[in-house]
Structure 1
Amino acid sequence: MSARIGLFGGTFDPVHNGHISIARSFLQSDLIDELWILLTPHPPHKSGEFQTAYELRFKMLKKVFSGEKKVFIKTIENELPKPSYSVQTIRYLKEHHSDNTYFYCMGEDSLVQFHTWKYYEEILEECKLLVAQRPGESHEEVAENILKRAHFIDHTPLDVSSSEIRENVANGVSIIDQVPKEVIKVIEKEQLYS
């Protein structure tokens, strides 16, 4: 049975309230039936940076989204050849789940950088973009060929980032307002980021 699938990729190191909020906005748009979260093992653009073990990032995602019926955590990118480029993943999915229609999901801040992605034109050929708008963000500089493939949805972003959370943990600053309790438990148990 065919479905409209949103693909939301990232390192999620760690997953935080901003990710949860944007995931819900993608689903509330009614443009997709399900959201597949693609956990990236080693993003090519972040090579050289330290990364929390894939299994622990996966564990945090599973705990956070376990109650969301239409959200699925996928490990496809960990199984495909490295480095893992988004276009490879999309082509793999289209080959193995060809009935579905795919939308690549991102925030408007990522859309502005999209032309710098490797194989971005191939991504546009394979699927449409689902873009969560940010108040005050302008996409005037975004090329016409990208905008033509983009669907914009309403979203009020939370001012939180994974790098800020890692920094806060390292400095002993509370992250209780930035991540769900389940994530804090994993961070404390595994002594991550300190």
Structure 2
Amino acid sequence: MKRIGLFGGSFDPVHHGHIEAVESFLNSDLIDEIWILLTPDPPHKTDQKKTDFEHRFTMLKLAFQESESTKISDIENELPKPSYTLRTIHHLKEKYPEYTFFLCLGEDSLQTFHKWHKYDEILKECTLMVVDRPGSDHSDVNSNILEKTIFVDHKPVDISSTEIRQTSDSSSLDNLPDEVQNYIQKNNLYTDSR
């Protein structure tokens, strides 16, 4: 039975932090592939202006074009809005009953996971895989969440998509793969927020 990691997000834009996390998930040997699910409209970011879905999707494909164990998916763009993780997991389990799915998260997402839409239902459907910062303390995370969590060794890259969008100089683009940098400059993305 194939073991698939699901790593969702708005990826606006995708950066080296995301890429390193994907590598850590794959290096854990717990999954055979990781599917990166681009979220069109995250329910918790309704007040945030987002870059066009197609631009974000193209940047993801550029960032992971060398990785054979990675699949970029636009499935959440086809499902009803808002993009709830539980709905996506139900859809994928129905479509691929022969696969075992793991939900891959960054550590910051684990801290707020109890606020996710029907998070307890998500835990019934799949195990969480979380990239773990060295020396992290998870004592404030609900025990029922921790019981369904596997921590994966990871050395985080200290950068966020928000920083990249908001930084006024081009140095923030150094945290992006060259192909993504070139695409952003060619299409004049993020210039109005700088």
Establish whether residue 179 from structure 1 lines up as the match of residue 176 from structure 2.
yes
1:83-122 → structure 2 map (5 Å cutoff)? 83-122=82-121
- Per the normalisation by structure 1, the TM-score is 0.96
Q: Deviations over 1:116-154 (max 9, x none)?
A: 111100100000000110123211011111111001110
Aligned length: 191
Unaligned runs of 5+ in 1: none
Cα contact 2:104–2:129 (8 A) shared by 1: yes
Cα contact 2:7–2:104 (8 A) shared by 1: yes
Question: Which whole-Å CA distance do the structure 2 matches of 1:143 and 1:99 have between them?
Answer: 30
Letter of the 2:75 partner, please give it.
I
Shift of 1:45: 0.5
Q: Deviations over 1:79-109 (max 9, x none)?
A: 0001110000000000010110000001122
Shift of 1:172: 2.5
Shift of 1:20: 0.3
Shift of 1:176: 4.3
Root-mean-square deviation (Å): 0.9
Establish whether residue 35 from structure 1 lines up as the match of residue 34 from structure 2.
yes
**Percent identical residues:** 54
Shift of 1:186: 1.2
Letter of the 1:127 partner, please give it.
C
1:7-26 → structure 2 map (5 Å cutoff)? 7-26=6-25
Question: Which whole-Å CA distance do the structure 2 matches of 1:108 and 1:139 have between them?
Answer: 9
4+ runs deviating over 2 angstroms: none
Shift of 1:185: 0.9
